[in-house]
């Protein structure tokens, strides 16, 4: 990927239509997703809890992400975040408000995933920079969900309207146990066919849809190894022979 960008350019939209993603387009409701340049590709680490296995298996370059133009667009958005945090969140808030207006007018729910390729507490940052709490009941038509490797975010939003799925890696088994035993959900990548149960918990197929908002509590979200993850040597992928 060409990383010669020195500063950001203005963008019309930070959020992308979920139809552009092979997985989110399977979602039962309209979905918008925010893609940034993951890990430290931009010079700022926006995935602070990422393990080596996670970084090597990242789906950042999957699907449309393989195109240089898409990578540059994600890098550009990350540079806005890096260089002008208030601007970034004011624009993001305005986009969310427009989406919310659309949901109200059409009397529908719309799903929002703010961490497509990042791991940031964006909802907290939105409050900090704009004063808007999108978890307020007024915005109940917006269904926020995400994956994270940050156990503190899981604890913070457990039993709220922000549905967080903890992501297992090769180095966070202790946190996996804590999340599952506290009633949370954990995503795990399996090398072979998904088991019906694992570690004593039911496994549901996370590849059928990306929409984690309506998942039952206390389950494992099973994902089949794809792309670079098929060749994982770090134990990020569970070799469930």
What CA–CA distance (Å, rounded) separates 222 from 181?
Answer: 17
User: Do residues 33 and 217 lie in contact, with contact meaning Cβ atoms separated by under 8 Å?
Assistant: no
Q: How far apart are CA 15 and CA 95, in angstroms?
A: 8
The length of the chain, given as a count of residues? 241
More confident residue, 57 or 201: 201
List pLDDT tens digits, range 50-90: 888 887 776 544 444 444 777 788 899 999 999 999 999 99
* Residues 137-149, mean pLDDT to the nearest whole number: 97
Q: Say if residue 187's pLDDT is above 70.
A: yes
Predicted pLDDT at 2: 42
Task: Tell me how crowded residue 234 is: count the other CB atoms within 10 A of its CB.
Answer: 16
| Predicted structure pTM score | 0.90
Residue 103's CB is within 10 A of a number of other CB atoms, namely 19
């Amino acid at each position: 990927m060409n990383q010669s960008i020195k500063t950001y350019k203005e963008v019309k939209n930070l959020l992308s239509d979920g139809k552009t993603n092979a997985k989110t387009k399977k979602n039962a409701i309209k979905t918008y997703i925010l893609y940034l340049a993951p890990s430290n590709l931009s010079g700022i680490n926006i995935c602070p809890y990422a393990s080596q296995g996670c970084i090597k298996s990242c789906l950042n370059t999957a699907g449309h992400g393989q195109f240089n133009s898409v990578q540059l667009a994600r890098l550009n958005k990350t540079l806005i975040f890096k260089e002008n945090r208030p601007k970034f969140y004011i624009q993001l808030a305005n986009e969310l408000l427009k989406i919310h207006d659309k949901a109200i007018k059409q009397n529908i729910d719309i799903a929002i995933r703010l961490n497509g390729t990042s791991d940031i507490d964006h909802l907290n940052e939105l409050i900090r920079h704009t004063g808007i709490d999108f978890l307020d009941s007024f915005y109940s038509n917006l269904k926020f969900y995400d994956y994270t490797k940050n156990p503190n975010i899981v604890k913070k939003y457990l039993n709220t309207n922000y549905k967080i799925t903890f992501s297992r890696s090769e180095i966070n088994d202790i946190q996996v146990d804590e999340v599952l035993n506290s009633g949370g959900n954990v995503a795990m990548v399996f090398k072979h066919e998904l088991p019906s149960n694992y570690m004593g918990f039911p496994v549901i197929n996370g590849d059928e849809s990306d929409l984690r908002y309506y998942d039952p509590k206390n389950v494992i979200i099973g994902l089949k190894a794809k792309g670079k993850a098929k060749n994982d040597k770090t134990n990020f992928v569970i070799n469930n022979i």
